[in-house]
Amino acid sequence: MKLSFRPRPSRTLTLAAAAAALLVIAAALWPWPHDDGGAPAKTTANDYSLRPSACLAADDSTTSAPLVQHTWTALQQAGQDNQVNVQQLVIPAKDSTDAAPYLSGLIAQRCTMVVTVGAPFNTALPAIAENAPHVRFVAIDPPTGTDLKGATSLTPDQLDQLDQSLHSLLPQH
């Protein structure tokens, strides 16, 4: 009896080779995700409640902290009473140059009213307010001599007026 060690092409081997060829062709033609130049997806701020929003912008200095907390508490209560959305942005800002981009960001987020606390934000407010006539601005305890064109100034004793300010944001029926 004679044994042959020569490999014979079998039907299974032929089918496997054909399947592998098809996979290679399919992979080459498949619409794989492509690089779009690294452009990030556009992010937008949407408020589906359609309620007005009041945004607190303040610096995180230790001298401003008590007033920021007092203002935030008053703003939260006024927002709850008037069904107005409220949010806060407390960041380290040394001067108006540091604060201005954050105020612009709150305007881009469609804040209906921006309340500022702390010298950096209060001094940045006039330049931002003149370019956003559709937004109401309130400066809490601004430094003496700050020109607040387009903004309302409140002292810490007048924080209860935030309730009236937020109520005025509501549509009149």
pLDDT digits (tens, 9 = 90+) for 40-86: 666 555 556 778 999 999 999 999 999 999 999 999 999 999 999 99
> Within 13 Å of residue 3, how many CA atoms lie on the same side as its CB?
1
Quick one: pLDDT at residue 60?
Answer: 92
143 occurs within a structural domain: yes
Structural domain tally of the chain?
A: 1
Distances (CA, A) of 53 to 48, 100, 166: 12, 19, 9
Q: Tokens 């003496």 correspond to what residue?
A: 144
60 occurs within a structural domain: yes
42 occurs within a structural domain: no
Tell me the pLDDT tens digit for each residue of 9-28.
Answer: 577 767 777 777 777 777 77
Q: Check: pTM over 0.85? Answer yes or no.
A: no
Provide the mean pLDDT of the chain: 84
Q: Which domain holds residue 70?
A: 53-167
Q: Residue 108: which CATH number?
A: 3.40.50.2300
149 occurs within a structural domain: yes
119 occurs within a structural domain: yes
Beta bridge partners of 88: 56
Structure tokens at 151: 């903004």
Q: What is the CA radius of gyration of the chain?
A: 31
- Give the sheet arrangement for strand 53-59, strand by strand: 85-91, 53-59, 113-117, 136-140, 152-154
91 occurs within a structural domain: yes
Quick one: pLDDT at residue 106?
Answer: 94
106 occurs within a structural domain: yes
122 occurs within a structural domain: yes
